[in-house]
Structure 1
């Protein structure tokens, strides 16, 4: 069962990434990407994986230690749970990047490869996007976020 949940997690998030990379201008892509609910399938998998292991999860996360975390990640359910969590968070990051790229009117030929890079190396892809966003965003962005004007 754990192996199946591990495998299915990728396929639950892949369609959303595919929409953002291959159909960024399609109106439904923006509608779908505007909902934080798209991560729910991956989070359901995470919940199923950890439901029977809450004491171990709590012990690992409440008092972090490299050895304990290594043991947690070394278990099949722990590795699959970490995978589901990573895919859910990466999708949230990717969706935010996609939406910001639309706001900034960044070209899909820039964002498509950057999103693919982010799927594989999310911290680096996210960092690159933050630099691009900083370079392309207006200097008065802070006030517009707060005031909406």
Structure 2
């Protein structure tokens, strides 16, 4: 497979997931496909395979300096590995935005522009979502339930009592 073909496959391959987040966020198949581990696992397997067996970073390529990082993108397969990294994490953040908006009752139409921005500009989309959520719900946090303290989990009744579980 040519690098350009792989790039297009991954780039356009995640677009149906983004479309589901935008147009059908509560549909059962959106839940089963986008909010499951299926897409991230599938893409991560491809990412790992390309990273280990296909990509060959040019000499001096590394993440420790700007020059080294720029060299990572000079080899097509290494650039695709980096691109998959972005695609997986951006989709993960977009899916989280939708789930969080449902939990916090943020209107979906207010989330749609955030999803578009998250797809194309990752952190900017997340920031805009957090700002929209703050305006709509008055909360600016990454906690799953704003203001809620974690509930201590009690051990099952049979633990520590000497009574076997049935």
Shift of 1:88: 0.5
1:3-42 matches, cutoff 5 A: 3-42=4-43
- Larger relative contact order (Cα-Cα within 8 Å, sequence gap ≥ 6): 1
Post-superposition, which runs of at least 4 consecutive aligned residues in structure 1 deviate over 6 A? none
1:45-60 matches, cutoff 5 A: 45-52=46-53, 56=57, 60=62
What is the TM-score of this pair, normalised by structure 2? 0.74
1:111 maps onto 2:132 in alignment: no
Which residue of the partner structure matches residue 163 of structure 2?
Answer: none
CA pair 97-128 structure 1, distance change in 2 beyond 3 A? same
- What stretches of structure 2 of length at least 5 have no aligned partner? 153-166
Is the 1:30–1:99 Cα contact (8 Å) retained in structure 2?
no
Greater helix content: 1
Is the 1:33–1:99 Cα contact (8 Å) retained in structure 2?
no
CA pair 142-72 structure 1, distance change in 2 beyond 3 A? same
What is the TM-score of this pair, normalised by structure 1? 0.81
> Which has the larger Rg?
2
Q: Which moved more, 1:80-89 or 1:45-54?
A: 45-54
CA pair 45-3 structure 1, distance change in 2 beyond 3 A? farther
- What stretches of structure 1 of length at least 5 have no aligned partner? none
How many correspondences in the alignment? Answer: 144
